[in-house]
Every structure is written in structure tokens, then in C-alpha cells.
Amino acid sequence: MNRRVIVTSSVLMIAIAGGSVLAWKLTHADSHAAESTVKPKRSSQSSIAEKEEKSVVALSEAKRVSAGVVVESVQTRAMQSSVVVSGRVQYDDTRHVEIRTATDCIVSKLFVKPGDRVLAGQVLAVLSSPEVGTARANVLQRQADLQLAERTAEWERETCDNVLRLIKAIEAHKPLKEVRSEFENRKLGDNRTSLQTAYARSELAQTLVANLDRLTSVLPERTIQERLNEAEAAQAAVKAVCEQSAFDSRKRCDTAQAAVNDARRRSEIAQQQLTTLLGYRDEPSDDQLEHREPPPSLSLVESRAPFAGTIERKTFSVSERAKPGDTLFVLADTSRLWIAADLREREWSMLNIASDAELTVESPALPNRKMTARVHFVGREVSADSHAIPLVATIDNADGLLRPGLFVRVTIPGGEAAPRLAVPSSAIVEHDRHKFVFVRDAEDQFRRVDVTTGLESGSLIEITHGLAEGISVVTRGAFVLKSELLLEAE
């Protein structure tokens, strides 16, 4: 019984509350209806007029001069499609080198620090290396061997020439006295005794044979025959000695020249080994070779700059020990650098860009400055890491403003240039995601006109909707007009 009373009371309370809410809604609905009948509706023409009024800005002459307002006519210009990609400034690989050590060494002296400009061949550091000392001593020995071989060869050539001349004199049967006088002060070596002795015997035998006519009646037939035989044997001996002497002389001359060639090759090999260790060609002076004097220290090595550039990094200090292959310095010529960018699938149309084509480079570090780079090469292989193809361009950096590692934006042109309605990019302003320009209606009045933009190429932006050719728009000072427009709206 009590449960029924409770339920009945709850239903009555809900009904009373619902009636109160319904009465409140009806009362407020009537008040809104009354208000709507009192307030008149604004006409569409007045709204348009108010909107146009709010889009017009008036500037006095003083303000226009202060803002630097410049007005230009909208024109049709030749524009080329382009793509903007990110990139980095890098060293030119052909002008960037790590100067390394070739042997175990100790740094004795340092003459440069990072940022120093150096010339080609300038000494950067002095190192001490026992291996270099051994190689340099080997070069000195090989040079001395070469000089000895050259002197020996010169002796043999001169001796050979004199021997051949003596043989010709003997074959011409010059008097022995004249032969001895002519070759007395000439180099003949061991051939002097053998040739002149054989020739003297031959001449004596010939003299005895010449006197046989007067002694035929006195000398027995046997003696005469013996003298004739002796003369023939003497002539044969002279001929044999001449032939053997000529052969031996030429052989010794050729052997001496072969020794010179071998000594020269060994000297060049030793010099090449030393050059590999030093990084430059180091030859002993003539005085050192002549007196066989070594340089002040055979083990000292001068680390030199292979080309003119700037020291980018130094990794060792004095008295530190370096191992083979350790980097002493990083040298680079930064007057020309590389711009490296990646071409991904959306930039695939740019793969056929011509070599030496011009690119526009901009960097946040150098605002309002556009630089020109030229395509050096476009890669042939897609990187497995970046899924892109590298593009490398060269850029002049004579002023030294660009540094390796700097972030840049690269504008890559593509396709043929075509006529398009365009304005300078400085004419476009934006507010609430709407792009617009200011059109001059009168000398001191400018009107906002919303536009739709298209292609961007360099400092130009294509206008696809909102303007017509010949209309005067503000190309400089548009930001000031935008500020005035917003202030008036507030």
C-alpha cells in the first residue's frame, strides 16, 4: 500500500514540472516573435555597399611617400614552371682533402690553425719520422750509385771512342811514332799496351821484309821464308788484337750504360717511395750528392698544402704521436662549393634537367638574397636510405658567406616558358587564408581585390583569377595598406 502512494506522488510531481517548462518556452517564444517584428531586415544592397566600403583604403601623400608605395600594371609575362626542394651546402669534392700521415711520426711544429688561408706548397707542420729517414738515406745512396755509374759509363764511352780511332790509325798503317804521339794523352785503358805492342811487332816485321830485296843474296832461303812468315803472323796478330779490343770496348761501354740505366731506375723507385711518404718530391741538393753530406735531419717531414685553400680543421698538437692514416688537417678551397639536393618522386620530371642549367638558391641565413648555381650532375641511382636521386650544383662563394652544412632552398626550373598573367610576389598579401592585392582606384585610394594564384617563378606569381591585364596594383608597400585596412575595420 505504501509503495502505491509513493509511485502516485512521483508521477504528480513530474507532471507539474513539465507544465512549468512548457509555459516558460511559450512565453519566450512570444517575446522573440515580437522582437522580430520590431527589427527591420537589412537589405542586400546595403550589405554589399558596406563590404566594398570596408575594402577601400585611403592614404595621404605623406603616408604614401613614407610607406614607399609603388604601383605597377598587371602584365603577361613569360613564366616557367619550377620546383622548390631543400638542400645543403657541401664541400666541392675536387677541392676538399684530408691531409693524412703516411708513417708513424711525432708532430714537431705547427704553423697554421683553423680558418687560416694557405698557399699551394705552404708548410703546415713539421713531423719526425724514422721511416722517412731510412727512405731519404736510401735515396741518397741511390743517387750516389747513379753518379758513380754515370762517371764509369762516361769513362768507358771515351775509352771506346779512342780505341776505335787507334784501330783506324793502325789499319791506315800510320807510322808508329805518329800513333804514339797522337794517342799519348788519350784514354785507352788496357788496350794501349796490347794494341801498340802488336802494331810495333807488325811494323818491325814489315820493315825486315822490306829489306829482304837487298839481302837476298846474303841470307839463306830459309831465313827469308821465316821473316815472311813472321810478318804475316804479326799482321794477323794486329788484326786479332784490333777486333778483340773493339769488341771488348763496345761491351764495356754497353755494360756501363746498362748499369747507369739500372741505377737510374733504382734511384727513381727510391725517390717515389720517399715522395709517397712525404706527399711531395724531395731531392737532395747537388752539394749533398757531391760531398755525400746528408741534410740536417733525415727524419724531418714537412706537411705541405697540396693546393691553395683554408684550413677547416686541425686534429693534432705539438709533441703528439700520429699513426699511419691519421688526419692532421682538413684543407678546402671554399671559393666554390656544392649545393646538394634530393629529387624525390614528385620531382621526377626534373631528372632531365640539362647540365650547367641555372638554379636559384636561397637560405634563411641570408634573407632577401638569391644566388645562382649551375647543375654539376644528376645521380643515376635511387638511394636506398632517402629513396631519392641526388642533384649536385656548383655555386660561387668568392665572398665566403656560404658555409658547408648550411640549409638552403633550391628552385629548379622545368618545362618551357609560357605567357602568363603575373604580378611581382611583393604585391600579394594574405589574411585569414585569403590572398589579395590592392588595386589603385584613385591617386589616394586603394581597393582590396581577392585573387587566386598559380605558378610561382622567381619573383613572379601567376594570377589565375581576380585581375585583368593593365590594372594598376601596388607592388611595394602593400603590407602598410593591409595594416591600414585592418585598423579601419577594427
- Answer for the pair 234, 201: CB distance below 8 angstroms, yes or no: yes
Give SS3 for 116. coil
What's the pLDDT tens digit per position in 72-117? Answer: 989 888 877 778 889 999 999 989 999 999 889 999 999 999 999 9
CA atoms of 356 and 376, how far apart (whole Å)? 6
Q: Is the pLDDT of residue 1 over 90?
A: no
* Burial class, 222, CB count within 10 angstroms (exposed 0-12 / middle 13-18 / buried 19+): exposed
Q: Is the pLDDT of residue 325 over 50?
A: yes
- Answer for the pair 138, 131: CB distance below 8 angstroms, yes or no: no
Share of the chain above pLDDT 90, in %: 33
Q: Is the pLDDT of residue 387 over 80?
A: yes
Burial 404-436 (b: 16+ CB within 10 A, else e): bebebebbbbeeeeeebbbbbebbbbeeeeeeb
CA 465, 466, 469, 474 dihedral sign is negative
State which amino acid sits at residue 416.
E
Please compute the mean of the pLDDT values over residues 277-297 and round it to a whole number: 60
Phi/psi of residue 469, nearest 5 degrees: -65, 140
- Answer for the pair 144, 289: CB distance below 8 angstroms, yes or no: yes
Query: Which of 39-53, 155-169, 267-281, 332-346 bottoms out in mean pLDDT, i.e. has the lowest?
Result: 39-53
- Tell me, what's the pLDDT at 49? 45
Q: Is the pLDDT of residue 487 over 90?
A: no
- Strand 366-378 to strand 389-396: parallel, antiparallel, or no bridges (unpaired)? antiparallel
- Tell me, what's the pLDDT at 301? 87
- CATH code assigned to 52-92+334-490: 2.40.30.170
- CATH code assigned to 94-129+299-332: 2.40.50.100
- Answer for the pair 132, 299: CB distance below 8 angstroms, yes or no: yes
Average pLDDT, the chain: 81
Residue 305 has which C-alpha cell? 698544402
Q: Is the pLDDT of residue 157 over 80?
A: yes
Burial 240-266 (b: 16+ CB within 10 A, else e): ebbeebbebbeebbeebbebbeebbeb
- Answer for the pair 301, 132: CB distance below 8 angstroms, yes or no: yes
Confidence label for 40 from pLDDT (cuts 50, 70 and 90): very low
β-bridge partners, 460? 424, 457
Confidence label for 15 from pLDDT (cuts 50, 70 and 90): very low
What's the pLDDT tens digit per position in 411-439? Answer: 888 766 778 889 998 899 998 888 999 99
Q: Is the pLDDT of residue 35 over 50?
A: no
Q: Is the pLDDT of residue 458 over 80?
A: no
Confidence label for 263 from pLDDT (cuts 50, 70 and 90): very high
- Tell me, what's the pLDDT at 62? 84
- Answer for the pair 320, 106: CB distance below 8 angstroms, yes or no: yes
Q: Spell out the alpha helix ranges (H) of 211-344.
A: 212-215, 221-278, 286-291
Confidence label for 50 from pLDDT (cuts 50, 70 and 90): very low
Confidence label for 33 from pLDDT (cuts 50, 70 and 90): very low
Please give the span between the terminal C-alpha atoms of the chain, in angstroms, as a whole number.
Answer: 71
- Tell me, what's the pLDDT at 42? 46
What does 397-410 look like in DSSP terms, one character per residue?
A: -TT----TT-EEEE
Provide the 10 A C-beta neighbour count for residue 108. 16
CA atoms of 130 and 104, how far apart (whole Å)? 8
Under DSSP, the state recorded for 379 is -
Q: Is the pLDDT of residue 23 over 50?
A: no
Domain ranges of the chain: 52-92+334-490, 94-129+299-332, 147-272
Q: Is the pLDDT of residue 47 over 50?
A: no
189 sits in the region (left: phi over 0; alpha: psi -120 to 50; else beta) called left
CA atoms of 414 and 437, how far apart (whole Å)? 28
- Tell me, what's the pLDDT at 333? 93
Give SS3 for 351. helix
- Tell me, what's the pLDDT at 18? 47
Q: Spell out the alpha helix ranges (H) of 80-220.
A: 130-171, 176-182, 191-210, 212-215
